[in-house]
């Protein structure tokens, strides 16, 4: 299930946080991370730390995050969550409360379920609602069906995001195929923005076992109906240490090009995340 979760997170194009994929040990684990994101507008940074503990079929976790935007504004947030096993899977919920240097606040409520179906498939449902201090409400919903095969795993995903500007939709399908020393990943996505514009992208990637852990890389190429294109390169490495802790480094490089009203624009962005995890 860890491989499935990791592949799904990569396929959906989100930044991986250890809190999302942390593996429970006998009792508990702690983690910390540092992220730097460099764009044409400036450099943003995020530092985070958290812990997860398990007792019986239940687990609880907390996370503290703080950062600086590319524009120089600072922010911080606190997340608390809990989860438990069910007869046919598991369920979880989490609450994040954050504030910015300027005094703005937000609250995000998340909940999700993982269900093992009678036909052998796995259904993952996730919902989130963010409420800002100005009254703005943004809701997100993501439903995924996973099928395991002898060759690997396939999945389909449907998602929506509703905010003040309207509703955006996304569909995705992908597969991971086992190889002798790892796996290969392929994902196709398409969607419609809240403004009604369509887009599509394709991701290919590989994961490889190493003597000290694993490494992976993916390439995403996308385009919009307006003619804009982008390429995103991701690389990552997870290294185990002899003291029981684990270090993870992830790098994302993005190249964006496009044209509008006869003008051509381009930009680059890079992000690097380093995570350290300790087991107890």
pLDDT tens digit sequence for 137-180: 999 999 999 999 888 999 999 999 999 999 999 999 999 999 98
Q: Which of 116, 110, 171 is nearest to 143 (CA)?
A: 171
Whole-structure pTM value: 0.81
Work out the pLDDT band at 29, boundaries 50, 70, 90: confident
Which has more confidence, 11 or 278? Answer: 278
User: Of the spans 14-23, 47-56, 129-138, which averages the highest pLDDT?
Assistant: 129-138
Work out the pLDDT band at 275, boundaries 50, 70, 90: low
Q: Are 25 and 277 in contact (CB under 8 A)?
A: no
Q: Which domain holds residue 117?
A: 2-279
Q: What is the CATH number of the domain that holds 20?
A: 2.40.160
Tally of domains within the chain? 1
Instruction: State the pLDDT at residue 38.
Output: 85
Q: Are 29 and 44 in contact (CB under 8 A)?
A: no
Q: Which two tokens stand for residue 143?
A: 């439903």
């Amino acid at each position: 299930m860890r491989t499935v979760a990791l592949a799904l997170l990569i396929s959906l194009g989100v930044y991986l946080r250890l809190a999302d994929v942390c593996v429970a040990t006998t009792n508990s684990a702690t983690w910390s991370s540092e992220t730097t994101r460099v764009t044409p507008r400036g450099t943003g940074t995020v530092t985070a730390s958290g812990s997860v503990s398990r007792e019986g079929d239940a687990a609880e976790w907390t996370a503290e995050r703080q950062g600086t935007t590319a524009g120089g504004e600072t922010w911080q947030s606190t997340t608390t969550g809990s989860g438990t096993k069910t007869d046919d899977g598991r369920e979880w919920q989490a609450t994040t409360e954050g504030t910015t240097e300027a005094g703005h606040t937000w609250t995000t409520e998340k909940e999700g379920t993982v269900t093992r179906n009678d036909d052998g498939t796995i259904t993952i449902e996730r919902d989130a609602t963010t409420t800002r201090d100005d009254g703005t409400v943004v809701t997100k919903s993501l439903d995924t069906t996973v099928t395991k095969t002898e060759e690997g795993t396939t999945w389909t995903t449907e998602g929506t995001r509703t905010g003040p500007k309207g509703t955006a939709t996304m569909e995705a399908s992908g597969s991971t195929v086992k190889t002798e020393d790892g796996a290969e990943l392929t994902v196709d996505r398409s969607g419609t923005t809240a403004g009604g514009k369509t887009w599509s992208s394709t991701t290919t990637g590989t994961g490889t076992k190493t003597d000290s852990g694993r490494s992976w890389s993916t390439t995403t190429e996308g385009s919009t109906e307006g003619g804009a294109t982008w390429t995103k390169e991701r690389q990552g490495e997870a290294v185990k240490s002899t003291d029981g802790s684990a270090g993870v480094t992830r790098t994302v490089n993005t190249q964006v090009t496009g044209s509008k009203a006869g003008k051509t624009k381009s930009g680059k962005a890079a992000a690097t995340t380093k995570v350290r995890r300790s087991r107890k």
